[in-house]
Structure 1
Amino acid sequence: MLLDMRASGDELGWLTWTLNGSQFYTYSICNVEEREQDNWLRTTFIQRHPLASRVFVELKFIVRDCNSFDGASLVCKETFNLYTSESDADVGTTFRKSQFKKVATIAPDEITGKNEMHINTETRVVDGLSRKGFYLAFQDIGACIALLSVRVFYKTCPGTVQNLATFPETVAGGENQPLTKVSGVCVDNAASEESPRIYCTEEGKWAVQVGQCQCKPGYEEVKDACQECRPGSFKAEASSDACEPCPANTDTLEHGAVLCPCKDGFFRAPTDPTTGPCSGPPSAPRDLSAVRQPSVGRLILSWTPPEDTGGRNDITYSVECQRCDGIVCQPCGERVRYEPGSTKLTEARVSVSELEAHLNYTFIVQAHSGVSQLASEAQRPASRSNVTIFLHYTGEHPPQITTMRLVGRTSTSLALSWDVSPRPRAQLHVRYKLTYHKKVSIFCFSHQECPEIKLCLMYHFGFVSVYVCFACCLNNRSTGSILSIHNYITRKRNSHTRQGPEDTYFSTPEQLKPLKTYVDPHTYEDPNVAVLKFATEIHPSHITKQKVIGAGEFGEVYRGILKAPGRKEVAVAIKTLKPGYTEKQRQDFLSEASIMGQFSHQNIIRLEGVVTKFKHAMIVTEYMENGALDRYLRDHDGEISSFQLVGMLRGIAAGMKYLSDMSYVHRDLAARNILVNNNMECKVSDFGLSRVLEDDPEGTYTTSGGKIPIRWTAPEAIAYRKFTSASDVWSFGIVMWEVMAFGERPYWDMSNHEVMKAINEAFRLPAPMDCPSAVYQLMLQCWLQDRAKRPRFGDIVSLLDKLLRSPESLKTIADFDPRVSIRLPSTSGSDGSPFRSVSEWLESIKMSQYSENFTCAGIVTMEQVLQMKTEDIKNIGVRLPGHLKRIAYSILGLKDQTSTLSVFAV
């Protein structure tokens, strides 16, 4: 607050006045019967904050109705003027009107009559201040006014602690700098990978923060501070998480613990996370038993898992074998075979073969886990079990295979026979198993390779297993055949296979049309699956950030370059996710990519891909050089023809038709969410509020709360929070108005409440200047109260196509009421014109930059202005088409205007 006259109380010397029980200090004047009034009231010197180039002046005042004075209405006024003058020092009582610059004409919303009293409050902005201080002055030109309060203030973003970062109080910027970047400092015992920063908006509110601070290891967040973890808890990494209780079999008595050490007798395996529980070695396997199977010549060992696993689930087993001949025992060695093996067994069972007769065998089965090697020698025997078995059989020697022959072949098989000597006794079972291995030998014939197969015959005799291997080289000169063996091993594939899902990449364009129905990623149990399904993963090394171009809800937005392998370099927009995000924020951030990835249309923003498998998540889209449509239109006011504007609308409508055909509703269609490229091609973007429609064509989506963009939203969606493609059509009508009005704000500065009330009372936005009648009629169709009667997007595209094919249809201009569309201030003068001066009039229509042009041309009275034609306006130097139209239409409105009091209220 730089100045508060009401708080100053009687220091001003103003008169006291009581209204409705409240006391006011007032300064009043009421010379309504005297002509040519020029009364001034100036403030004291107001010191300016060095960074506050923009201040706000709030006035509370009462204006008497001129009609309440008998015979004074011809000279009475109902407005006064606000002026300002900058200075580097207090000039005392020195006052020169020439040093003051007009800020605004102040008009009341409500005037006071004989029997009623109305206090008005108006706030005006004084921008571009650069000197040490300034004065305000109020000029009365013949009104009956009581000034109750003058407050002068500037807006700041208050000092704050957000996400463990301290940000100082910051003066808000002005129109030329709507976002002020502010660097912050992490609180004690907190750190950030990148310097924390935040943006202060021109309204004195903090925007999105980038570079979130996190409590260091051993600390947790408690009320905007980082406190040490209590004994019995820990935190291993810098994060926004709270300290965790020490896991099983660990403990710590220290404050600020980073890790919890294992208790005695418990360990962490090398592969275990340091933040996980500790575990002990397993107890011994139970109920170890051995079962002979003489018919197949093997022994089956089986057991029950340990009663105590030590708190682990990576239990494996190993089997050791010792054989004893009399009193001498030794390891069994490689003679004994185990199936599936002797170590790293996961099943509590193993088959043992090739054992000899008349020997004692002792088998030791040991349970292992990831910490077994860390356990002490004293602990390890507790993990072992053993069993001893004596094997006996008749002493019959195993048969010997003496010859192997190839006796036949087909294109896919070989027939073999062999001789056995001596023959085993009939009561003993002999079982054979044949295996083969293919390799290439260069020794069959000189300078010619041929396939060689290694044939191994395994046969079982009691508890004994014998392997006999032969090498056989087959070629066209022998009984075998290279071709037959080759066919046997590789087997040719049938070339007439059915088309599988992967063959869709080679289908016709007709087969590659997008899915008819959009899939809501929020229906996935794991949202990450939706991202992987609909978006392409990009390696961050292929992305180069160049410049920050905006601040989104989740982080900064960059312009950059994407250079993927095998593709040419392309410009892209890169949305980033601020550090320190929660998993929900990450899923919400990536859900937009899951939505965009399902769309493929020239008027829908194209998703290039996402970065999800690395620390910093990103969404990469095509780069639209001309940015948001509303700002682009404001920057090119009057420079784009109606035909081009309709062409841009046609592109937006085509994109929306594509979305509605997929049973999809946007919910936030507005010019700010349409992007424009170098070819003036418009593309629908920003799917943050979007949701899927139900299968029913008239299906709706009911929100669970949250903000609704009132000025763009259909009345049924505002009232019942139900959204359909018909509500998107209403929003498209508002976009049409924005486009034809060159980015004008819909409903101007009306409040949301006023907008809703006006719509419910059947008010609709008037036609913008130079808007073709056919285009405005389409807008009105989009704004029909009954949503069933609104056109569909397919109808809209067809109609716009017809208009573009017949440019003559765009020459008929809709009726334009400058009193509503330009919204002149409420003023009244004795000569019948609404303004006292040309500069006052130009300022009201935001064309004050041409004041000097009018003065140099000798046009210094409003009577002269009313005589001007379009050529006269051009001749004084107004060249921009949009500015020319604004001034010309304003003059047209002034000619027809008999009273400008409360024009917009009418």
Structure 2
Amino acid sequence: MDSRGIKRLLFSYVLINGIFITLQTKEEVLLDMRASGSELGWLTWPYEQGSKQGWEVVQRSLNGSQLYTYTVCNVGEHEQDNWLRTTFIQRRPSASRVFVELQFIVRDCNSFDGSSLTCKETFNLFSSESDADIGTSFRKGQFKKVATIAPDEITSRNELRINTETRVVESLSRKGFYLAFQDIGACMALLSVRVYYKTCPATVKSLAAFPETVAGGGVNQALREVAGACAKNAVSEESPRIYCTMDGEWVVPVGQCQCMPGYEAVNDTCRDCQPGFFKAFVSNDACELCPVNTKQLSSGALLCLCAEDFYRAPDDPTTGPCSGLPSAPRELVATTTQLAAGKLQLSWSPPEDTGGRSDISYSVECRRCEGTACQPCGEKVRLEPASSGLMDTRVEVSELEPHLNYTFTVEAHSGVSLFASQGAPRSNRPPSTSTLTTALHYTDPPKVTSMRLDERSLTSLSLSWAVAPRRPMPQSTRYKLTYRKKDDNLDVTTYTVLILEKSSVQISDLSPGTAYLFRVQALSPEGSPGGSSIEDEFETLTEVPLSQSNTGVIFGAAVGGAAMLMIVVVVLLIRKRRRRSHTRQGPEDTYFSSSEQLKPLKTYVDPHTYEDPNMAILKFASEIHPSHVTKQKVIGAGEFGEVYRGILKAPGRKEGAVAIKTLKPGYSEKQRQDFLSEASIMGQFSHQNIIRLEGVVTKFKHAMIVTEYMENGALDKYLKDRDGEMPSFQLVGMMHGIAAGMKYLSDMSYVHRDLAARNILVNNNLECKVSDFGLSRVLEDDPEGTYTTSGGKIPIRWTAPEAIAYRKFTSASDVWSFGIVMWEVMAFGERPYWDMSNCEVMKAINEAFRLPAPMDCPSAVYQLMLQCWLQDRSKRPRFPDIVSLLDKLLRSPESLKAIADFDPRVSIRLPSTSGSDGSPFRSVSEWLESIKMSQYSENFTCAGVVTMDQVLQMKNVDIKNIGVRLPGHLKRIAYSILGLKDQTSTLSVFAV
């Protein structure tokens, strides 16, 4: 059979079996050889010369359609150079890269007889750009090679195999281009050529509209940034942007649009709040029902105004309810406690109507009346504890005078009481005061104000005293005099009591040279005591006045000596306490000053302490010449610029893959220093679980940080993509690596501050390495070992409560964050605290709430999480303890079999009873979307499960039968159904 016969046989077989299959993708086709259905008019070169033949077109009919293919098979000739060129292909604006999809058949060279055949099994693809159609002009020098095409499957004598290969033609910039195929001696058939480019379709995401965009960025860029516009009545703090990937997918939206006050997000629009509802702030939250005691306004309300006679206090939130004035205190009574002392107690009951407020306080007004004239009591009457701002319902009144009438008015106050004094309407306002009039009738004895010594001798003392009379003055007043010797050495003290009719007395039979203590009290006619004088001391004369002087000298010397002795004792105590302070160590010191930490092999140096930050970079990071770094493709976007995967090939180093962080153009010098400071930090670390710094590029225009490349990316995304597929033993192993890295950092007196699964990178060996040192700071030398921020953002869900409250970070706060990372690992990348807001998270933690155990979490692992989340940071385990415990669990896999208790309604935070608007789920697709399982919508539809009633009847075997195979997905769907049923049946029905 000749070569021409071979070509036709191949093509006929293809037509008979009809295997042309086109996958539907997001593509814009520029050329489709098979769909043209007519003569293609492609140029072949060279033309037939002698016995040499190049490409030729073959036409066949299939189901009434004309199909064309190009074949060549000059395997018996030497030095083949046959070219096939397409017609001019016009390029669409912005389509700088196109895809060329080829379907072809290549004959196995071993299937030909004869050793003289110079057969090949490959051909070459070329491209050439042009601004105009050059017709039949053809020069090989105009073309540049795109790729050598080799088949995955070759065709033998008995079996034909079709190959499909796709190649990319990049950096297109002119109006159009040609493709050319060079045969160098193969026996092959070119069945289909399809040229297309990909687009990201027009879309609306997060209330921002984005236009249709050609996929990919510029040269060597995998992402194209696209600007969007917020929907009507929506705003954004920064312009909404999104990235279009080379595969035509939208990723990484930036700058979320939010509905303005008075509007709520409904689907992809902002709808005004309905009458009776309001929204006060820019957000995508739903409008709220107007609170109690407010007016229901028309649609689009920002706030709800208070109804008549209802108010908001100055410190009340404008979105809260309105409240009324309190009614009067009830049951005001006066109780006499010490009538003769002019004391009584006022008490009352709280108002029956508080106006809907809890900040009720009271004030008491006192007025005294003599006859018909009344005036304020003023300072003459004391009220304890105060006359206003009372939180209790009682007050003590004293210094009342007899035979007067007193009127007491008690008024209830609240945060809105000030509106009553501003002339607020009183149509429905209850009175807030209660009044009581009472009279006191008693005879008050005069008060002794002072005592004096009138005369003294060896054995007697003459005393008198002055009194302050009360109104009315009693006809006769008696006094009670009490005295005793001033002698502290006696075990028994003897008092002498005298009842006197006048305000003076002479006391005889006293001891010479002896001091006595005297006290006088006035008595009422009824015999009750009045006010007392201050206790006074008087002394009789001695027989030897000179000895009295000597006694004074001796006493003074004794006092002086005692004072000097006291000073010496105090000094000795202070010195002893100082010595102890150097050796004593409290619980906090024990935590942060282990033997390893007191003498670390290496201590971290904060690059911010350098006067010139560039000196820190030179000291801790190696300089790399940019020619040694090759950027391959964008793998992400960092704070300062794009992140690339690339190759590092430097002298003296083994060539290898690296990650390259770049600094975007237009940076300031401070941004450059902040960007490179992370390298100054990483350059100080050397541990297998800490991301390794390869070097930096600083001496050229475009600064770069080069680190080792972690093939599996961030830990949280890696776990989400493998939900339920990894055993607990493997997960604990990953935790052990993270803990080892954190132990290394803490031993260097270093606090990370942003430890989270998103900042842990994973390589091909599933080794976890701590990265992202942008927020981390050094531990100071003080005993607390803390760093206080000057503001800025804190990752609330991963941060310890003391760090949130006081902005102080320690290794103990890193331990708290590690507990959250453990939870993320066991929950396969689930978001900590689910959809709770940051405020709700902080409130829950302060109220002792802790994250529940994830599904299938070993009990020992969850107990370690709880230890990491102890409120008292001094009681949390240290990283050396954590590494030791995880090592023991890995050495004893049996210890991981005991599973912690699990409640699906709490542990996976499923919206198991209602949709996003609070009503039951309206469709199966809405329910699947709420639990992030939308990829199974078609499975449910094909299985005939189209209503939520049918979903509620499903068992575990039914879920498996519709195609849900991954254990993690199977559990999530099953537990969600359990939550929907809202019953207390055991979980064994859904056990996997």
TM-score range, shorter chain: 0.5 to 0.7
Is residue 520–residue 533 contact of structure 2 (8 Å, CA) maintained in 1? no
Residue of structure 2 in register with 1:804 after alignment: none
Q: How does 1:570-609 map to 2 (within 5 A)?
A: none
Higher relative contact order (CA 8 A, sep 6+): 1
Residue of structure 1 in register with 2:640 after alignment: 548
Identity of aligned residues (%): 52
For the pair 1:669 / 2:762, whether they are aligned, the reply is yes
How big is each residue's C-alpha offset from its partner over 1:123-170, in whole Å with a ceiling of 9 and x where there is no partner? 111122221111111122232323232222223333332222223333
For the pair 1:304 / 2:349, whether they are aligned, the reply is yes
For the pair 1:5 / 2:48, whether they are aligned, the reply is no
* SS of structure 1 residue aligned to 2:447: coil
Residue of structure 2 in register with 1:105 after alignment: 148
For the pair 1:193 / 2:234, whether they are aligned, the reply is no
| Distance in structure 1 (CA, Å) of the matches to 2:116 and 2:85 | 27
* Structure 1 residues 550 and 81: alpha-carbon distance in aligned structure 2, compared to 1, 3 A threshold: closer
* Structure 1 residues 627 and 247: alpha-carbon distance in aligned structure 2, compared to 1, 3 A threshold: farther
For the pair 1:148 / 2:240, whether they are aligned, the reply is no
For the pair 1:629 / 2:708, whether they are aligned, the reply is yes
Residue of structure 1 in register with 2:294 after alignment: 250
Of 265, 268, 281, which residue of structure 2 is paired with 1:224?
A: 268
* SS of structure 1 residue aligned to 2:709: helix
* SS of structure 2 residue aligned to 1:67: helix
Of 311, 323, 328, which residue of structure 1 is paired with 2:368?
A: 323
* Structure 1 residues 426 and 505: alpha-carbon distance in aligned structure 2, compared to 1, 3 A threshold: farther
| Distance in structure 2 (CA, Å) of the matches to 1:163 and 1:309 | 45
Residue of structure 2 in register with 1:121 after alignment: 164
* SS of structure 1 residue aligned to 2:306: coil
Is residue 282–residue 308 contact of structure 1 (8 Å, CA) maintained in 2? yes
Residue of structure 2 in register with 1:428 after alignment: 528
Is residue 628–residue 676 contact of structure 1 (8 Å, CA) maintained in 2? no
| Distance in structure 2 (CA, Å) of the matches to 1:197 and 1:665 | 26
Is residue 87–residue 133 contact of structure 1 (8 Å, CA) maintained in 2? yes
* SS of structure 1 residue aligned to 2:336: strand
Is residue 33–residue 193 contact of structure 2 (8 Å, CA) maintained in 1? yes
| Distance in structure 1 (CA, Å) of the matches to 2:560 and 2:531 | 26
Q: How does 1:719-868 map to 2 (within 5 A)?
A: none
Q: CA deviation at 1:316?
A: 0.8
* Structure 1 residues 48 and 149: alpha-carbon distance in aligned structure 2, compared to 1, 3 A threshold: same
* Structure 1 residues 45 and 22: alpha-carbon distance in aligned structure 2, compared to 1, 3 A threshold: closer
Is residue 38–residue 66 contact of structure 2 (8 Å, CA) maintained in 1? no
How big is each residue's C-alpha offset from its partner over 1:521-540, in whole Å with a ceiling of 9 and x where there is no partner? xxxxxxxxxxxxxxx9x9xx
Q: CA deviation at 1:26?
A: 3.3
* Structure 1 residues 625 and 39: alpha-carbon distance in aligned structure 2, compared to 1, 3 A threshold: closer
* Structure 1 residues 409 and 43: alpha-carbon distance in aligned structure 2, compared to 1, 3 A threshold: farther
Q: CA deviation at 1:6?
A: 4.8
* Structure 1 residues 278 and 81: alpha-carbon distance in aligned structure 2, compared to 1, 3 A threshold: same
Of 23, 30, 42, which residue of structure 1 is paired with 2:73?
A: 30
Of 380, 396, 406, which residue of structure 1 is paired with 2:445?
A: 396
* Structure 1 residues 44 and 706: alpha-carbon distance in aligned structure 2, compared to 1, 3 A threshold: farther
Q: How does 1:335-484 map to 2 (within 5 A)?
A: 335-375=380-420, 376=424, 378=426, 382-402=431-451, 419-420=519-520, 422=522, 427-429=527-529
How big is each residue's C-alpha offset from its partner over 1:842-877, in whole Å with a ceiling of 9 and x where there is no partner? xxxxxxxxxxxxxxxxxxxxxxxxxxxxxxxxxxxx
Is residue 62–residue 147 contact of structure 1 (8 Å, CA) maintained in 2? yes
* Structure 1 residues 49 and 510: alpha-carbon distance in aligned structure 2, compared to 1, 3 A threshold: same
| Distance in structure 2 (CA, Å) of the matches to 1:504 and 1:99 | 76
| Distance in structure 2 (CA, Å) of the matches to 1:156 and 1:330 | 89
Is residue 358–residue 392 contact of structure 1 (8 Å, CA) maintained in 2? yes
Residue of structure 2 in register with 1:56 after alignment: 99
* SS of structure 2 residue aligned to 1:44: coil
How big is each residue's C-alpha offset from its partner over 1:744-793, in whole Å with a ceiling of 9 and x where there is no partner? xxxxxxxxxxxxxxxxxxxxxxxxxxxxxxxxxxxxxxxxxxx9899xxx
How big is each residue's C-alpha offset from its partner over 1:477-511, in whole Å with a ceiling of 9 and x where there is no partner? 99999989x99xx9998655764456669957646
For the pair 1:214 / 2:258, whether they are aligned, the reply is yes
Q: CA deviation at 1:100?
A: 1.1
* Structure 1 residues 328 and 5: alpha-carbon distance in aligned structure 2, compared to 1, 3 A threshold: same
* Structure 1 residues 173 and 371: alpha-carbon distance in aligned structure 2, compared to 1, 3 A threshold: same
| Distance in structure 1 (CA, Å) of the matches to 2:109 and 2:131 | 40
Residue of structure 2 in register with 1:159 after alignment: 202
How big is each residue's C-alpha offset from its partner over 1:221-252, in whole Å with a ceiling of 9 and x where there is no partner? 11222111111111111122221111121133
* SS of structure 2 residue aligned to 1:194: coil
* SS of structure 1 residue aligned to 2:110: helix
Q: CA deviation at 1:212?
A: 2.0
| Distance in structure 2 (CA, Å) of the matches to 1:65 and 1:434 | 126
Of 94, 103, 125, which residue of structure 2 is paired with 1:82?
A: 125
Rg larger for: 2
> How big is the alpha-carbon RMSD for the aligned residues of Structure 1 and Structure 2?
5.7
* Structure 1 residues 658 and 223: alpha-carbon distance in aligned structure 2, compared to 1, 3 A threshold: closer
| Distance in structure 2 (CA, Å) of the matches to 1:396 and 1:162 | 88
Residue of structure 2 in register with 1:178 after alignment: 222
* Structure 1 residues 374 and 477: alpha-carbon distance in aligned structure 2, compared to 1, 3 A threshold: farther
Is residue 282–residue 367 contact of structure 1 (8 Å, CA) maintained in 2? yes
| Distance in structure 1 (CA, Å) of the matches to 2:73 and 2:857 | 52
* Structure 1 residues 25 and 219: alpha-carbon distance in aligned structure 2, compared to 1, 3 A threshold: farther
Structure 2 gaps of 5+ residues are 1-27, 41-56, 453-464, 466-482, 490-514, 537-555, 601-605, 614-637, 645-660, 692-702, 712-735, 747-754, 774-794, 799-813, 832-855, 862-889, 894-992
Q: CA deviation at 1:660?
A: 7.7
* SS of structure 2 residue aligned to 1:361: strand
Q: CA deviation at 1:120?
A: 1.7
Q: CA deviation at 1:205?
A: 3.3
Paired residue type of 2:151: P
* Structure 1 residues 345 and 380: alpha-carbon distance in aligned structure 2, compared to 1, 3 A threshold: farther
| Distance in structure 1 (CA, Å) of the matches to 2:772 and 2:392 | 64
How big is each residue's C-alpha offset from its partner over 1:671-714, in whole Å with a ceiling of 9 and x where there is no partner? 9968799xxxxxxxx999x999999xx9996444689xxxxxxx
Residue of structure 1 in register with 2:303 after alignment: 259
How big is each residue's C-alpha offset from its partner over 1:317-349, in whole Å with a ceiling of 9 and x where there is no partner? 111112222332222222111111111111122
Paired residue type of 1:155: K
Is residue 232–residue 270 contact of structure 2 (8 Å, CA) maintained in 1? yes
Residue of structure 1 in register with 2:108 after alignment: 65
| Distance in structure 2 (CA, Å) of the matches to 1:660 and 1:721 | 24
Paired residue type of 2:641: I
Q: CA deviation at 1:314?
A: 1.1
* Structure 1 residues 349 and 480: alpha-carbon distance in aligned structure 2, compared to 1, 3 A threshold: farther
Paired residue type of 1:548: F
* Structure 1 residues 235 and 694: alpha-carbon distance in aligned structure 2, compared to 1, 3 A threshold: closer
Is residue 65–residue 113 contact of structure 1 (8 Å, CA) maintained in 2? yes
| Distance in structure 1 (CA, Å) of the matches to 2:77 and 2:533 | 127
* SS of structure 2 residue aligned to 1:230: coil
Structure 1 gaps of 5+ residues are 436-454, 456-475, 515-535, 564-568, 576-595, 607-623, 633-652, 678-685, 708-719, 726-786, 791-906
For the pair 1:131 / 2:177, whether they are aligned, the reply is no
* Structure 1 residues 322 and 129: alpha-carbon distance in aligned structure 2, compared to 1, 3 A threshold: same
How big is each residue's C-alpha offset from its partner over 1:82-133, in whole Å with a ceiling of 9 and x where there is no partner? 1100101111222222211111111111122333332222111112222111
Of 360, 377, 391, which residue of structure 2 is paired with 1:332?
A: 377
* Structure 1 residues 321 and 302: alpha-carbon distance in aligned structure 2, compared to 1, 3 A threshold: same
How big is each residue's C-alpha offset from its partner over 1:636-670, in whole Å with a ceiling of 9 and x where there is no partner? xxxxxxxxxxxxxxxxx999844488999987433
Paired residue type of 2:640: V
| Distance in structure 2 (CA, Å) of the matches to 1:30 and 1:119 | 16
